[in-house]
């Protein structure tokens, strides 16, 4: 009976209008190779005559360190792929393609799209014609440690997108995408019949239908089939890790587990989610769907429920419910919507997040972003704790908007920076549909989504079909939604301009601060209850609106945050007896989310250290919340435990963001420091500055370009450690230009520095270059050159330093800046000559040029060498050098240098060798945080 069913499925598949692949595959878990014989029936369902066709070959993305996917890993500072062993890589090899006339067809890879192959036909294929081809090839399965797809331990394999599949055809051409680890392969719809052989100690779980299973010798044969598929998910494992949950809609094959839940509890959650999605989006078009732990791990619910289980503020069932809901929706949409997942990613993301928000509103309306923490009385004052669960979506989007790093929702997925691709753009897409739903009302948006999903069950679609459905079903004009919300990065910000009121009415005008013409809701509030709501459509300038008051004592723009608005702090206006413009001050301990109803001042204890002040306990006052804002202050008074005297620092900054300019950020800043520079003396530094930050049009480009202007005023108290009184007080104008780009495989930067003072003027520059080669060798080069324009000093204080700059601008993080002996004198700073050995001549008052180089001999163990020429007044130029061993534990953050040989001779045998060792160490929290967040921004 099973064989008859299989034959019927095969015949119906051949008669179906889509492509059809009959595959025979044999898995060798020892060699990690799958041998494939594939019979492909290609059906030209287009209106064009074809001379070639395209197959997606995404397994090829793993074959070496120079693929587009490898480049993306490098952009995002992921080292594992570049450093992988050859046996861990994957590829598709020995591809042969024969037509039904037994002619061997030629194929090639496009240089720009190496993860697809283009097959040349011997004869033209007319519209509605079919042609059958026989393909044979080997799939070397990659390690799953790179992307989650590939082989794991004990024979485990996740084989998504490993076979050759026909590519999507649209607008007269095949869609070509490279595998960039984005889960956005553009396959054409196909029918599949798969015979797969695996060792009998392994099992297969899949979203295909199982027709037959038989054990022959030490192998098990699975016969699987599926119609109208965009994707095929195959999981090979040593034991049956997946469980099957069935209801009237679909069979869910899942290994998404939580050991704290019973099978019955999981089954209840799955049934609840499946029924909700079926009711709101439509019945899943296939009999089975897979929901794997790997699917969730690749796209988890980013937020505070990522905390470890033992401190999670959410109930176990709620956590599992959210995880399953997110993953099920993702897989449901990507196996149902016949869109281009790269070009139309916002539709997938928008429907997924919108549906999740609706689900929370229906089943968990009282849930908070911080879960049960919101019940703790001592924490209720925090906006982070009291915020509704769905409120976090807007904050994650706004995190990028306030940094001027948000991107248009309609932008292709591969152009998004990682934080936008994974979080911010997804959330804003859902918020945007929620915004449109609130504006249109009457179930227009959910009905349109259901109609669109139904359309996708019938034919291939694109974003125009979705836009057409929304527009057709809308009772109001909505071009603004696509022009301003989807296809631009325009921001929205409204405020009240003029407000007057009577007992019965309110008259007001609105100021559209960004001139983004979109609808905005106005609320009337009395005792925290909404007494009216009115949508204001696009309007001309200076428009006055009069509406009934309904006893409101406050009017608020966007009260329920339906509109993804840039600034909520200017959205409310009191209607009481006097006009109240200022918000009350609210002191909060540690950082919080921005609360638009208060002026928040954060206070937090601090503890720092330097040799001369000892421990520096203090308290820091600032107005920085999780979201950036235009004006920031940061004041940190401290007490020096060594001298029992007051010290500290302060910073005031104004940010100007330019949305549509390569000069995207101008920062005006005033800094002040009051700390010890020697055991017996303070320094005072006042430093006004302007930062100009530039970026390329491609936000993913890691290139940085900055122009900085500073005026540094230093006042140093007299000290027994200060030999030259002429260096106590001085003022320096400083201009710097920086241009650099950093990736895993390559780094370069150029820095030019001009300093002008009453007693000296100097110009210097440096070029750094770092390259990680395919053989895992790394080369580090740094070239420095500097010259005095004029120099009237007799002191060496302002000279170019060969090994340890004096840091007269007080910009480096020295632990003991005035030390000449002891451990703290051995701290090295990447500046000036950057020699590691202390030579007889240590500075230059005329000019200096040096070259620093290092390369690794094993992992993080490197050899280094420095060479240079230094020129002092009234002396001849002098050649200097040093060399040794470098332990490059964390580049630029934690390094050790062991000198071996230099201009001093052999150093390694000296009695005081321990004093010659140099180290680089960074304790600055902002610098360390940047080390971990750079892959996201």
Measured CA to CA, the distance from residue 370 to residue 383 in angstroms comes to 10
Residue 924's SS3 state is coil
Beta bridge partners of 616: 608
Please list the alpha-helical segments (H only) found in 299-424: 316-334, 345-363, 383-386, 392-401, 418-419
The residues, any chain, with a CB within 8 Å of residue 480's CB and separated by 6 or more, are: 517, 518, 519, 538
How far is residue 455 from each of residues 336, 423, 463, 567, measured CA to CA in Å? 10, 28, 12, 38
Measured CA to CA, the distance from residue 305 to residue 47 in angstroms comes to 50
**Tokens describing residue 323:** 């995880």
Q: How many helices (H) and strands (E) does the chain have?
A: 14, 47
How far is residue 374 from each of residues 184, 314, 592, 795, measured CA to CA in Å? 38, 11, 14, 62
Task: Report yes or no: 371 and 314 within 8 Å, Cβ to Cβ.
Answer: yes
The arrangement of strands across the sheet holding 150-151 comes to 150-151, 157-158, 234-237, 203-206
What is the distance between the terminal CA atoms of the chain, rounded to a whole angstrom?
57
Residues of the chain with confidence (pLDDT) below 50: 1-16, 578-581
**Tokens describing residue 25:** 């595959």
How far is residue 72 from each of residues 76, 203, 389, 606, 771, measured CA to CA in Å? 6, 34, 33, 39, 16
Residue 731's SS3 state is strand
Residue 621's SS3 state is strand
How far is residue 388 from each of residues 372, 374, 398, 564, 777, measured CA to CA in Å? 12, 10, 16, 16, 51
Measured CA to CA, the distance from residue 670 to residue 639 in angstroms comes to 22
Query: Alpha-carbon dihedral of residues 697, 702, 703, 705, nearest 10 degrees?
Result: 90
Task: Report yes or no: 297 and 326 within 8 Å, Cβ to Cβ.
Answer: no
**How big is the CA angle at 165 (ends 456 and 283), to the nearest 5 degrees?**
25
Measured CA to CA, the distance from residue 403 to residue 418 in angstroms comes to 14
Task: Report yes or no: 163 and 224 within 8 Å, Cβ to Cβ.
Answer: no
Residue with tokens 């179906």: 16
Q: Which of 125, 126, 117, 112 is nearest to 96 (CA)?
A: 117
DSSP class of residue 603 equals: E
Beta bridge partners of 711: 733
**How big is the CA angle at 482 (ends 456 and 410), to the nearest 5 degrees?**
70
How far is residue 586 from each of residues 391, 546, 624, measured CA to CA in Å? 21, 34, 13
Measured CA to CA, the distance from residue 342 to residue 182 in angstroms comes to 8
- The sign of the dihedral angle between the CA atoms of 319, 321, 322, 323 is positive
Can you state the angle between helices 316-334 and 345-363, rounded to 10 degrees?
Answer: 150
DSSP class of residue 485 equals: I
Longest dimension (CA), the chain: 102
How far is residue 284 from each of residues 188, 289, 320, measured CA to CA in Å? 19, 8, 21
Q: Strand 251-254 to strand 288-291: parallel, antiparallel, or no bridges (unpaired)?
A: parallel
Q: Which of 292, 251, 234, 295 is nearest to 23 (CA)?
A: 234
pLDDT of residue 260: 86
DSSP class of residue 421 equals: I
**Tokens describing residue 826:** 């051995």
Task: Report yes or no: 186 and 179 within 8 Å, Cβ to Cβ.
Answer: no
- What is the chain's length? 937
Residue 500's SS3 state is strand
Q: Which of 442, 534, 517 is nearest to 482 (CA)?
A: 517
Residue with tokens 């200060």: 722
The residues, any chain, with a CB within 8 Å of residue 311's CB and separated by 6 or more, are: none
DSSP class of residue 103 equals: P
**How big is the CA angle at 28 (ends 22 and 33), to the nearest 5 degrees?**
75
The residues, any chain, with a CB within 8 Å of residue 926's CB and separated by 6 or more, are: none
What element of type H or E holds 741? strand 729-742
506-548 pLDDT, tens digit per residue, is 998 888 888 899 999 999 998 889 999 999 987 766 678 888 9
Measured CA to CA, the distance from residue 653 to residue 585 in angstroms comes to 20
**Tokens describing residue 880:** 């200097």
Task: Report yes or no: 768 and 747 within 8 Å, Cβ to Cβ.
Answer: yes
């Amino acid at each position: 009976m099973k064989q008859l069913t299989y034959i019927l499925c095969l015949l119906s598949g051949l008669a179906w209008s889509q492509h059809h692949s009959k595959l025979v595959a044999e898995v060798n878990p020892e060699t990690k190779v799958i041998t494939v014989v594939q019979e492909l029936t290609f059906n030209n369902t287009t209106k064009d005559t074809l001379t070639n066709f395209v197959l997606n070959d995404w397994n090829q993305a793993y074959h070496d360190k120079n693929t587009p996917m490898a480049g993306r890993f490098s952009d995002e500072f992921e080292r594992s792929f570049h450093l992988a062993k050859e046996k861990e890589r994957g590829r598709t090899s020995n591809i042969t393609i024969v037509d039904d006339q037994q002619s061997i067809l030629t194929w090639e890879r496009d240089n720009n799209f190496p993860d697809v192959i283009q097959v040349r036909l011997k004869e033209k294929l007319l519209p509605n014609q079919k042609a059958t081809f026989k393909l044979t090839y080997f799939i070397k399965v990659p390690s799953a440690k790179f992307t989650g797809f590939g082989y794991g331990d004990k024979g485990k394999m996740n084989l998504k997108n490993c076979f050759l599949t026909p590519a999507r055809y649209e607008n007269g051409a095949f869609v070509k995408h490279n595998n960039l680890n984005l889960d956005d392969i553009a396959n054409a719809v196909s029918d599949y019949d798969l015979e797969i052989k695996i060792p009998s100690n392994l099992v297969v779980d899949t979203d295909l239908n199982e027709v037959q299973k038989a054990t022959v010798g030490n192998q098990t044969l699975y016969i699987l089939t599926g119609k109208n598929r965009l994707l095929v998910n195959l999981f090979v494992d040593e034991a049956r890790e997946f469980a099957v949950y069935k209801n009237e809609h679909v069979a869910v094959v899942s290994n998404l587990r939580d050991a704290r839940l019973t099978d019955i509890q999981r089954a209840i959650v799955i049934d609840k989610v499946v029924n909700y999605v079926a009711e709101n989006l439509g019945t899943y078009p296939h009999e089975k769907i897979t929901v794997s732990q790997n699917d969730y791990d690749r796209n988890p619910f980013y937020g505070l429920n990522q905390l470890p289980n033992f401190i999670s503020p959410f109930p176990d069932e709620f956590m599992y419910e959210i995880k399953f809901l997110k993953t099920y929706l993702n897989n449901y949409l990507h196996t149902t919507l016949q869109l281009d997942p790269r070009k139309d990613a916002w539709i997938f993301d928008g429907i997924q997040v919108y549906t999740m928000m609706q689900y929370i509103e229906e089943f968990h309306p009282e849930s908070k972003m911080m879960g049960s923490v919101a019940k703790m009385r001592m924490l209720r004052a925090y906006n982070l704790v009291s915020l509704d669960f769905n409120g976090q979506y807007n904050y994650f989007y706004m995190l990028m908007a306030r940094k001027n790093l948000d991107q248009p929702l309609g932008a292709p997925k591969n152009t998004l920076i990682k934080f936008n691709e994974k979080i911010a753009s997804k959330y804003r897409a859902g918020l945007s549909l929620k915004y449109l739903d609130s504006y249109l009302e009457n179930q227009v948006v959910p009905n349109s989504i259901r109609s669109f999903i139904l359309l996708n069950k019938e034919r291939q679609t694109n974003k125009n079909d979705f836009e057409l459905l929304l527009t057709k079903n809308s009772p109001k004009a909505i071009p603004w939604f696509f022009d301003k919300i989807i296809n631009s990065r325009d921001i929205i910000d409204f405020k009240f301009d003029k407000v007057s009121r009577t007992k019965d009415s309110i008259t007001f005008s609105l100021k559209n601060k960004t001139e983004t013409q979109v609808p905005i809701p106005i609320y009337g509030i009395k005792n925290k209850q909404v007494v009216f709501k009115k949508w204001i459509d696009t309007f001309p300038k200076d428009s006055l609106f009069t509406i009934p008051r309904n006893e409101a004592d406050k009017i608020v723009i966007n009260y329920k945050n339906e509109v993804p608005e840039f600034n909520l702090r200017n959205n409310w206006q009191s209607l009481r007896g006097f006009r109240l413009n200022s918000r009350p001050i609210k002191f909060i301990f540690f950082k919080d989310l921005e609360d638009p109803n208060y002026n928040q001042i954060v206070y937090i204890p601090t503890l720092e250290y330097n040799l001369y002040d000892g421990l520096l306990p203090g308290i820091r006052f600032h107005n920085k919340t999780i979201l950036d804002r235009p004006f920031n202050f940061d004041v940190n008074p401290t007490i020096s435990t060594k001298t029992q005297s007051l010290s500290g620092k302060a910073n005031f900054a104004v940010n100007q963001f330019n949305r549509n300019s390569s000069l995207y950020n101008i920062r005006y800043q005033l800094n002040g420091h009051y700390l010890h520079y020697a055991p017996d003396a303070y320094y005072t530094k006042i430093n006004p500055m302007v930062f100009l930050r530039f970026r390329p049009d491609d936000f993913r480009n890691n290139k940085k370009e900055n122009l900085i202007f500073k005026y540094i005023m230093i006042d140093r108290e007299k000290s027994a450690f200060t030999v030259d009184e002429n260096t106590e007080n001085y003022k320096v104008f400083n201009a710097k230009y920086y241009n650099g780009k950093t990736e895993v495989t390559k780094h370069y930067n150029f820095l030019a520095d001009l300093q002008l003072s009453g007693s000296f003027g100097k110009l210097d520059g440096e070029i750094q270059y770092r390259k990680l080669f395919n053989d895992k060798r790394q080369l580090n080069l740094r070239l420095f050159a500097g010259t005095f324009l004029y120099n009237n000093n007799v002191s060496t204080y302002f000279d170019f330093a060969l090994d340890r700059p004096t840091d007269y601008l007080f910009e480096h993080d020295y632990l003991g800046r005035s030390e000449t002996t002891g451990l703290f004198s051995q701290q090295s700073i990447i500046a000036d000559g950057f020699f590691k050995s202390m030579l007889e001549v240590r500075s230059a008052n005329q000019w200096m040029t040096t070259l620093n180089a290092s390369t690794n001999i094993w992992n993080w163990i490197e050899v280094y060498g420095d060479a240079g020429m230094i020129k002092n007044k009234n002396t001849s130029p002098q050649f200097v050098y040093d060399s040794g061993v470098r332990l490059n534990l964390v580049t630029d953050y934690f390094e050790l240098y062991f000198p071996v040989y230099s201009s001093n001779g052999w150093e390694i045998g000296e009695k005081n060798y321990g004093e010659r060792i140099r180290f680089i160490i960074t304790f600055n929290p902002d610098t360390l945080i940047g080390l971990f967040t750079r892959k996201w921004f």
